C-alpha cells in the first residue's frame, strides 16, 4: 500500500548537499586540528555516567581525526577553570590561523539572566571565559559545541565569523538537563548520521542527526520540548567531527593519483550537472546523472582495486 516517492521529486537537489558535495575532504585543507573536551560536573549518578560516556565517544572521534598530542580531555574530577584557561593560553602560541580548533563542553550549565556558567569543580567557566579563550586563538576555523542546559545563553557572546556554534538550547531560558549531548555523541558513531556517505561525520551532520533525535523524542513521548538545539555559522558542513572509515593514505603511485583526480573531476561534473538541473528535462537530467554515476562508480572501483594491489605489493 505504501507509495514510493516519485523519482522526479526526489532528484531535485538540495542546496545543503551542494555545499557538502563541493568540499569533499574538509579537514585536509587545514594544517592541524586541535580538539579540547571539557567534562563538567554531573551531580547525579546518571549524569556522571552519561557525561563520561559522551566524553569517551568524543575522545575516540577526535583520535580518528588528529594526533593524540593535539587532543586534550579535561575530566570532571580533574578540571579547574585556571587549567582550562592556561591550556588555551598555551594553545594560542601553538596554533596558526590555518589550524582548526574544536571545543566540546559536556555537562550542566546555568544562566541567571545575566551570566552563563558551565559547571566544573571550583570556579565555573563563564560564558565570557569561553568566548575569550576561543577569541584569543589565531585559528580561523573554530567549532564550539556546548551540550549543557542553558547553553544558548552564550550564542551572542561566542558568535564570531571564524566560528561555528552548536548549542543544545536556543537560549539561557531552557534550563533542563538536555538530551542533545547524548544524541550528538551517538551521531559520531552512527553511519546513519553520515548523510553523504563520505565516511566522515561533519559538524553539520552531527547536529542535524542530534536535532532530529531530540525532536523525535519529544514528539513520540507527547511532551513539550524543553530544549531546541541551534547551529550558528556557515561552514559546519566542512568541519569534521568524526571519521567512520579508515584514513586513505597519501600515495606517490601515479595510477592511483590519476584515478583520484578523475574521481574529483567526475564529482565536479556531477555538481555542475545539478546546477543545470532546472534547465533540463527530467529525462535528460536523469540520463546524464546516470552516466556520471556509473563513471564515478567505475572509477571508485578502480581506485579500490589499485589500493588492494598496492597493499598486496607492500
CB 199, min distance to another protein, A:
8
Question: In the window 249-288, what residues touch another protein (CB under 8 A)?
Answer: 267, 270, 286
13 binds another protein (CB under 8 A): yes
100, 139, 208, 240: which one contacts another protein (CB under 8 A)? 208
15 binds another protein (CB under 8 A): no
CB 310, min distance to another protein, A:
18
Angle at 281 between CA 278 and CA 285, to 5 degrees: 80
198, 206, 227, 256: which one contacts another protein (CB under 8 A)? 198
DSSP summary character for residue 6: P
15, 161, 220, 281: which one contacts another protein (CB under 8 A)? 220
Please give the Cα distance from 165 to 114 (Å, whole number).
20
219 binds another protein (CB under 8 A): yes
18, 298, 305, 308: which one contacts another protein (CB under 8 A)? 298
292 Cβ contact partners less than 8 Å away, ≥ 6 residues apart: 266, 269, 270, 273
Place of cell 524543553: 226
Question: In the window 108-137, what residues touch another protein (CB under 8 A)?
Answer: none
Cell of 212: 532530529
**Closer to another protein by Cβ: residue 44 or 301:** 301
251, 300, 302, 310: which one contacts another protein (CB under 8 A)? 300
From 67-75, 100-108, 252-260, 297-305, span contacting another protein (CB under 8 A): 297-305
Question: Which pairing describes strands 163-167 and 141-146: parallel, antiparallel, or unpaired?
Answer: parallel
**Closer to another protein by Cβ: residue 129 or 194:** 194
Mutual angle of helices 180-187 and 45-63, in 10-degree steps:
30
Query: Which of 25, 256, 108 has the alpha carbon at shortest distance from 116?
Result: 108
74 binds another protein (CB under 8 A): no
In order of 82, 216, 230, 259, 285, the CA distances from 188 in angstroms are: 29, 18, 18, 29, 34
45 binds another protein (CB under 8 A): no
254 Cβ contact partners less than 8 Å away, ≥ 6 residues apart: none
CB 184, min distance to another protein, A:
14
H/E stretch holding 180 reads: helix 180-187
Widest CA span in the chain:
65
4 binds another protein (CB under 8 A): yes
Contact positions vs another protein (CB under 8 A): 1-5, 7, 10-11, 13, 17, 21, 24, 191-199, 208-209, 212, 215, 219-222, 267, 270, 286, 289-290, 293-294, 296-298, 300-301
Amino acid at each position: 500500500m505504501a507509495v514510493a516517492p516519485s523519482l522526479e521529486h526526489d532528484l531535485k537537489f538540495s542546496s545543503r548537499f551542494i555545499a557538502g558535495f563541493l568540499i569533499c575532504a574538509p579537514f585536509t585543507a587545514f594544517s592541524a586540528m586541535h580538539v579540547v573536551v571539557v567534562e563538567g560536573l554531573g551531580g547525579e549518578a546518571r549524569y556522571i555516567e552519561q557525561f563520561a560516556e559522551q566524553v569517551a565517544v568524543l575522545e575516540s572521534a577526535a583520535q580518528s581525526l588528529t594526533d593524540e598530542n593535539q587532543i586534550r580531555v579535561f575530566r570532571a574530577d580533574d578540571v579547574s577553570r585556571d587549567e582550562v584557561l592556561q591550556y588555551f593560553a598555551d594553545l594560542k602560541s601553538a596554533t596558526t590561523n590555518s589550524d582548526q580548533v574544536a571545543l566540546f563542553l559536556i555537562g550542566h550549565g546555568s544562566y541567571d539572566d545575566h551570566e552563563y556558567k558551565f559547571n566544573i569543580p571550583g570556579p565555573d567557566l563563564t560564558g565570557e571565559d569561553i568566548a575569550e579563550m576561543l577569541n584569543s586563538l589565531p585559528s580561523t576555523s573554530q567549532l564550539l559545541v556546548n551540550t549543557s542546559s542553558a547553553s544558548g545563553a552564550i550564542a551572542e557572546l561566542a558568535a564570531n565569523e571564524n566560528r561555528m556554534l552548536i548549542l543544545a538550547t536556543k537560549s539561557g531560558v531552557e534550563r533542563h538537563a538536555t538530551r542533545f549531548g547524548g544524541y550528538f555523541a551517538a551521531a559520531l558513531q552512527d553511519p546513519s548520521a553520515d548523510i553523504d556517505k563520505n565516511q566522515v561525520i561533519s559538524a553539520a551532520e552531527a547536529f542535524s542527526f542530534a536535532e532530529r533525535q531530540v525532536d523525535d523524542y519529544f514528539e513520540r513521548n507527547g511532551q513539550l520540548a524543553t530544549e531546541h538545539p541551534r547551529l550558528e555559522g556557515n561552514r559546519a558542513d566542512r568541519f569534521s567531527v568524526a571519521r567512520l572509515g579508515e584514513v586513505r593514505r597519501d600515495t606517490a603511485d601515479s595510477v592511483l593519483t590519476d584515478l583520484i583526480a578523475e574521481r574529483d573531476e567526475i564529482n565536479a561534473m556531477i555538481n555542475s550537472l545539478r546546477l543545470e538541473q532546472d534547465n533540463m528535462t527530467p529525462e535528460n537530467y536523469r540520463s546524464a546523472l546516470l552516466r556520471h554515476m556509473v563513471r564515478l562508480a567505475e572509477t571508485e572501483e578502480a581506485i579500490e582495486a589499485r589500493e588492494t594491489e598496492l597493499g598486496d605489493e607492500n
